[in-house]
């Protein structure tokens, strides 16, 4: 044998030795998520029945201008932060007299990084008084300057020099939505952090025998947030008025009473055309099929029909809680309000759904306010604030206020400077770090977390603006850090957190973790 | 002791296999010139091209004379800008990011591969090196995704977000 060839050949002995090591090492690493799921499931066998917890994501689609949500409220003559606000926001500034003041605790850390010992007066948008009330009641907290990050960006100069890798396609809607929902900012990712968390939490906290429906429920169509990695925990989509049912079997479409043209109240098929068609369809679905594709299709349809029945029973059964959902949400009969009312009803009937852990996804669109920001944004915040307050009231009435945490997320914040000189039409454009809100009985509310950014733009001293000169704040807190606190509250341990948030360790510098100011749960 | 005596053959066999596995390999012979060639061929790599010091102006930059030129329309201008963006996206796995100033800078060569898609002068640039329309107003770039960018001109009234704006929405 040629020596040249032989010297680079893997010997049988080397193969056996390295193969044994690989089977113990690499394979385990590759399948970390699947293995963790099995481990946590096995550990859960020894636990007593875990308490109920639910996470509710409110996604503000389009990029919420949070510069006009949590606002410096002092006198510009004596408050430098308010002066910077009025100077930078210009015609988009909200008059400080119209803001709803909030009580900022004296030991607030959120202003120290960028504003020294200043403890400025803060206020909430005039049309969102409910948020100020929730904050002052200790039910809601703000997390300042959160955004997508691939690595920490320590300074503006580091951004300008491209000293650290940045999130891919900053300022683009779809990419930033994907990165907020996946918590992976430096590469395309097919799963969301909610989906990855659900895969692990379902294994450890939910009993497969009693679980009747997926623990991931979306109220606004498919979301990448709830997409998992394995495909065996599929998000279930519910409309605000109930399950998605098969079309063509209703007397009146979208009246909330599905199949009333085909099925009698006792469950038997009606002797009508829709009744005969539905019976025929159900018979076909219950037949055995030799073709694997046909068999899988029938299985999915049969499972969807069964889940539909469970959701229907849960929504109907929520009435037995004695809570007047319609009354509580009477001032929040909006797109988001209707979604949250359905979530409240499903939580009320959690025993029917059979899960100890649930993750809900709700969404509000319209935040891409390139024009008429002042008017449009006011309407959006009014809807958001009213819906969140009604949801709080419903959860308190149900006695699950401490068990449900609601959080907001959005594509990005918007530019601090306006894009026009006409107050009637001016808007703001795509930016980066912004303020998020977290609400719930477990939240250490009435506080401001993260770090409130400097409101100086361009190259002014202390500025955390990008190169745009228009006020695109470089985030102090990564989506990973923000989301990890939420997942941790849901029960994810340190090993699970590493699997759910693969980049979290990049923000785990002992010199910065303590100053992250993120102990909101 | 009886157990050892009865299983003597098995113990010897197991020990032999263990020694065979754990015995250190003979040190590899130093690679000959031929062997080095084989290794190189066996692991082909893309040639590492150092980043150019200067900016490489692409042929497409010469076609930018159509921008804001008589005989063409604003629709032609926007279509050409979209073409430039598509070229950029092909070379950089996505559109340039940022506002008009940053996107224009990227098209002028401030990008990782130092490729210029536009000449540094022309009636399509203002003093702040922003891409402007034929009425002298900077375009607005609305980033939808890595490969979709809406390009908006303020139109003849020179005011953005009014009814005479001209906007192309690729893929819509």
Confidence of residue B21 (pLDDT cuts 50, 70, 90): low
Instruction: Kindly list the residues of chain B whose beta carbon comes within 8 Å of any beta carbon in chain A.
Output: 20-21, 23, 25, 28-29, 31-32, 34-35, 38-39, 42, 94-95, 97-99, 101-102, 140, 142-146, 148, 159-162
Residue A480 sits at the vertex; the CA angle it makes with A479 and A482, to the nearest 5 degrees, is 65
Q: To the nearest whole percent, how much of chain A has pLDDT over 90?
A: 69
Residue B34's pLDDT is what? 40
Q: Which residues of B touch A11 (CB under 8 A)?
A: 25
Closest to A200 measured CA to CA, from A40, A351, A366: A40
**A275 vs A165: CA distance, rounded Å:** 60
What is the pLDDT confidence band of residue A201, given thresholds at 50, 70 and 90? very high
Q: Are residues B75 and B125 in the same domain?
A: yes
Examine the domain organization and report whether B27 and B69 are in the same domain.
no
- Of residues A7, A422, A425, nearest to B28 (C-beta): A7
Query: Given B25, B146, B162, which is nearest A172 (Cβ)?
Result: B146
Instruction: Let me know whether B68 and B30 are in one domain.
Output: no
The residue with greater pLDDT, A51 or A434, is A434
| pLDDT tier, A230 (very low <50, low <70, confident <90, very high otherwise) | confident
Per-residue model confidence as pLDDT tens digits over A415-432:
999 998 888 899 999 999
* Nearest chain A residue to B148, by CA: A172
User: Is the pLDDT reported for residue A433 higher than 80?
Assistant: yes
Dig out the tokens for A69 from the structure.
């949500």
Cross-chain Cβ contact B144/A168 below 8 Å = no
Q: Residue A30's pLDDT is what?
A: 36
pLDDT value at residue A36: 59
A508 or A201: whose pLDDT is higher? A201
Averaged over B17-34, what is the pLDDT?
54
Structural domain includes residue B51: no
**Do B76 and B36 sit in the same domain of this protein?**
no
Write out the residue range of the structural domain in which residue B70 sits.
56-168
**Which residue from B minimizes the CA distance to A17?**
B21
Give the helix ranges, DSSP H, for A229-370: 273-286, 292-317, 325-328, 335-348, 350-353
pLDDT at A25 > cutoff 50: no
Tell if the CB–CB gap between B145 and A3 is shorter than 8 Å: no
Nearest to B98 among A11, A422, A468 (CB): A468
pLDDT value at position A49?
59
Nearest CA in chain A to B159: A420
Q: With 0-12 CB in 10 A as exposed, 13-18 as middle and 19+ as buried, what is A301?
A: middle
Question: In a 3-state reduction of DSSP, which class is residue A490?
Answer: helix
User: What is the tally of structural domains in chain A?
Assistant: 1
Instruction: Please tell me which of the candidates B38, B94, B159 has its beta carbon nearest to residue A4.
Output: B38
> Is there a domain that residue B124 lies in?
yes
CA distance A321 to A315: 11
Which pLDDT value is given to residue B25? 56
A252 domain residue, yes or no: no
Residues B36 and B109 in one domain: no
Model confidence pLDDT, tens digit, residues A289-338: 888 998 888 888 888 888 888 998 899 999 999 999 999 999 999 999 99
Q: Per residue in A62-109, pLDDT tens?
A: 999 999 999 999 999 999 999 999 999 999 999 999 999 999 999 999
Q: Which residues of A fall within a CB distance of 8 Å from B38?
A: 4-5, 8
What pLDDT, on the 0 to 100 scale, is given for residue A467?
83
H-helix or E-strand spanning residue A239: strand A236-239
Q: Do B144 and A11 touch (CB under 8 A)?
A: no
Judgement on whether residues B66 and B119 belong to the same structural domain of the protein: yes
For B78-90, the pLDDT digits (tens) are: 999 999 999 999 9
| Tens of pLDDT, residues A131-171 | 999 999 999 999 999 999 999 999 999 999 989 999 999 99
Which chain A residues have a beta carbon less than 8 Å from that of B95? 169, 172
Q: Do B140 and A173 touch (CB under 8 A)?
A: no
**CB contact set of A285 (below 8 Å; sequence gap of 6+):** A298, A301, A302, A305
Average pLDDT over residues B151-161: 94
Contacts of B94 in chain A (CB under 8 A): 168-169
Q: Quick check: A7 and B146 CB within 8 A? A: no
Phi, psi of B107 (to 5 degrees): -70, -25
User: Residue A204: pLDDT band by 50, 70, 90 thresholds?
Assistant: confident
Do the domain assignments include residue B47? no
* pLDDT for residue A490: 96
**Could you tell me how many CB contacts below 8 A there are between chain A and chain B?**
77
In a domain, B128, yes or no: yes
What pLDDT is recorded for position A514?
53
Which of B21, B25, B32 is facing A4, going by the closest CB pair?
Answer: B32
| Of the candidate ranges A239-253, A276-290, B119-133, the one whose mean pLDDT is the lowest | A239-253
Residues B61 and B114 in one domain: yes
- Put simply, the answer to whether B97 touches A171 (Cβ < 8 Å) is yes
Q: Cα distance from A174 to chain B (closest Cα, Å)?
A: 5
Render pLDDT for A491-516 as a digit per residue (tens, 0 to 9). Answer: 999 889 999 999 999 997 766 555 78
Which residues in B lie closer than 8 A to residue A174 (C-beta atoms)? Answer: 144-146, 148
Average pLDDT, chain B: 82
> Which of the residue ranges A11-15, A124-128, A226-230, B17-21 would you say has the lowest mean pLDDT?
A11-15
Find the range with the poorest average confidence among A47-51, A139-143, A249-253: A47-51
Which residues from A are below 8 Å from B147, CB to CB?
A: none
Length of chain A: 521
pLDDT at A37 over 80: no
Is there a domain that residue B49 lies in? no
Q: Do A3 and B34 touch (CB under 8 A)?
A: no
**Residue located via tokens 């990049």:** A506
pLDDT at A250: 80
Search chain A and give the residue with CA nearest B102: A468
Sheet strands side by side (includes A122-124):
A70-72, A122-124, A100-102
What residues make up the domain containing A122? 53-241+332-513
Q: Is residue B50 part of a domain?
A: no
Put simply, the answer to whether B161 touches A173 (Cβ < 8 Å) is: no
> What's the rounded mean pLDDT across residues B64-86?
95
A139-149 per-position pLDDT tens digit: 999 999 999 99
Smallest CA–CA separation between B86 and chain A, in Å?
A: 15
pLDDT confidence bin for B11, thresholds 50/70/90:
confident
pLDDT band at A35 (very low <50, low <70, confident <90, very high): low
Interface of A with B (CB under 8 A): 3-5, 7-8, 11, 13-14, 16-17, 168-175, 370-371, 419-420, 422, 425, 427, 429-430, 466-468, 470
How high is the mean pLDDT of chain A? Answer: 88
Mean pLDDT score, B6-29: 65
Q: Do A470 and B159 touch (CB under 8 A)?
A: no
Which of these ranges, A243-257, A490-504, B18-32, has the smallest mean pLDDT? B18-32
Could you give the percent of chain A with pLDDT greater than 70?
A: 89
How many other CB atoms are found less than 10 A from the CB of residue A286? 10
**Contact state of B21 with A169 under an 8 Å Cβ cutoff:** no
Domain total in chain B: 2
Phi then psi for residue A429, to 5 deg, are -110, -175
What is the Cα–Cα distance from A180 to A192, expressed in whole angstroms?
9
Q: Does the residue A311 lie in any domain? A: no
A460 by Cβ neighbours in 10 Å (0-12 / 13-18 / 19+) ranks as: middle
pLDDT at residue A254, rounded to an integer: 62
CATH of the domain at A183: 3.40.720
Same domain, B24 and B87: no
Helix/strand/coil percentages in chain B, nearest 5: 40, 15, 50
Give domain status of residue B48, yes or no.
Answer: no
Q: Is the pLDDT of residue A7 over 60?
A: no
Q: Is residue A259 part of a domain?
A: no
pLDDT in tens, A259-286: 888 888 888 999 999 999 999 988 988 8
A425 vs B28, B35, B161: nearest CB:
B161
Predicted confidence at residue A153, as pLDDT, reads: 93
Question: Are residues B94 and A470, on separate chains, in Cβ contact within 8 Å?
Answer: no
Task: Decide if pLDDT at A368 tops 90.
Answer: yes
Mark yes or no for CB contact B29/A169 under 8 Å: no
Rounded to an integer, what distance in angstroms lies between the CA atom of residue A217 and that of residue A236?
Answer: 5
Q: Do A168 and B94 touch (CB under 8 A)?
A: yes
Interchain proximity B160–A420, CB inside 8 Å: yes
Residue keyed to tokens 């068999």? A295
Q: Quick check: is A228 in a domain? A: yes
Residue A243: pLDDT band (50, 70, 90) is: confident
Examine residue B160 and state whether it is found in any structural domain, yes or no.
yes
What band does A414 get if pLDDT is binned at 50, 70 and 90? very high
Do B23 and B100 have their domain in common? no
Q: Give the residue on B whose Cα is nearest the Cα of A160.
A: B102
- Work out the average pLDDT over A355-380: 96
pLDDT for residue A180:
97
**pLDDT category of residue B31 using cuts at 50, 70 and 90:** very low
Cα A223 to Cα A227: distance, rounded to the nearest angstrom:
7
Contact list, B101 vs chain A (CB under 8 Å): 467-468
Of residues B3 and A262, which shows the higher confidence score? Answer: A262
**pLDDT value of position A203:** 85
Q: Binning pLDDT at 50, 70 and 90, where does residue A21 land? A: very low
């Amino acid at each position: 044998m040629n020596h040249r060839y032989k010297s680079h050949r893997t010997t049988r002995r080397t193969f056996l030795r390295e193969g044994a090591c690989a089977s113990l090492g690499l394979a385990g690493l590759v399948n970390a998520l699947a293995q963790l799921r099995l481990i946590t499931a096995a550990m859960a066998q020894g636990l007593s029945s875990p308490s109920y917890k639910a996470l509710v994501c409110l996604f503000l689609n389009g990029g919420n201008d949070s510069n006009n949500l949590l606002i410096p409220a002092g006198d510009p003559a004596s408050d430098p932060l308010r002066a910077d606000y009025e100077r930078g926001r210009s015609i988009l500034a909200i008059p400080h007299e119209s803001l709803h003041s909030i009580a900022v605790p004296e030991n607030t850390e959120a202003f120290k990084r960028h504003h020294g010992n200043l403890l400025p007066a803060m206020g909430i948008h005039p049309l969102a008084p409910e948020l100020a009330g929730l904050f002052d009641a200790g039910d809601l907290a703000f997390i300042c300057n959160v955004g997508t990050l691939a690595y920490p960006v320590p300074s503006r100069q580091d951004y300008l020099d491209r000293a650290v890798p940045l999130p891919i396609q900053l300022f683009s809607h779809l990419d930033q939505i994907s990165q907020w929902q996946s918590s992976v900012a430096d590469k395309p990712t097919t799963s969301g952090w909610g989906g990855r968390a659900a895969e692990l939490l379902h294994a450890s906290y939910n009993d497969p025998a009693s679980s009747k429906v997926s623990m991931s429920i979306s109220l606004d169509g498919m979301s990448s947030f709830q997409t998992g990695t394995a495909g065996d925990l599929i998000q279930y989509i519910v409309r605000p008025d109930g399950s998605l049912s098969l079309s063509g079997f209703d007397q009146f479409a979208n009246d909330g009473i599905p199949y009333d043209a085909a099925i009698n109240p006792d469950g038997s098929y009606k002797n009508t055309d829709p009744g005969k068609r539905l019976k025929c369809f159900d018979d076909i679905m219950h037949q055995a099929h030799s073709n694997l594709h046909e068999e899988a299709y029938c299985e999915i349809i049969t499972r969807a029909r069964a889940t539909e029945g469970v959701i229907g029973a849960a929504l109907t059964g929520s009435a037995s809680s004695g809570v007047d959902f319609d009354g509580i949400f009477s001032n929040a009969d909006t797109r988001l309000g209707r979604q949250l009312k359905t979530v409240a009803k499903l939580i009320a009937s959690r025993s029917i759904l059979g899960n100890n852990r649930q993750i809900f996804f709700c969404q509000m669109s319209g935040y891409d306010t390139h024009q008429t920001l002042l008017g449009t944004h006011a309407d959006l915040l009014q809807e958001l604030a009213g819906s969140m307050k009604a949801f709080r009231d419903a959860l308190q009435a149900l006695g699950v206020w401490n068990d449900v945490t609601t959080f907001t997320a959005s594509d990005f914040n918007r530019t601090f400077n306006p894009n026009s000189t006409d107050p009637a039409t001016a808007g703001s454009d795509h930016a980066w770090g912004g303020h998020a809100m977290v609400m719930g009985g477990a939240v250490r509310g009435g506080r401001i977390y993260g770090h409130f950014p400097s409101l100086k733009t361009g190259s002014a001293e202390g500025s955390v603006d990008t190169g745009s000169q228009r006020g695109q704040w470089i985030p102090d807190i990564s989506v990973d850090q923000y989301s990890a606190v939420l997942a941790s509250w849901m029960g994810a341990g340190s090993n699970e957190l590493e699997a759910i948030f693969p980049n979290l360790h990049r923000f785990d510098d002992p010199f910065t973790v303590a100053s992250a100011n993120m102990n909101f749960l | 002791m009886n157990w050892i005596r009865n299983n003597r053959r098995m113990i010897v066999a197991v020990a032999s296999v263990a020694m065979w596995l754990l015995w250190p390999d003979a040190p590899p012979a130093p690679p000959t010139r031929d062997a080095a060639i084989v290794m190189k061929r066996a692991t082909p790599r893309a040639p590492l091209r150092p980043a150019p010091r200067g900016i490489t102006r692409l042929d497409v930059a010469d076609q930018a004379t159509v921008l804001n030129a008589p005989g063409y329309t604003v629709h032609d201008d926007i279509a050409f800008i979209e073409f430039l963006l598509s070229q950029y996206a092909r070379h950089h796995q996505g559109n340039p990011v940022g506002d008009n100033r940053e996107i224009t800078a990227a098209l002028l060569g401030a990008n990782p591969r130092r490729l210029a898609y536009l000449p540094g002068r022309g009636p399509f640039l203002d003093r702040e090196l922003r891409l402007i329309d034929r009425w002298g107003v900077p375009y607005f770039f609305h980033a939808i995704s890595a490969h979709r960018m809406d390009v908006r001109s303020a139109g003849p009234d020179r005011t953005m977000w009014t009814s005479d704006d001209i906007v192309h929405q690729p893929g819509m």
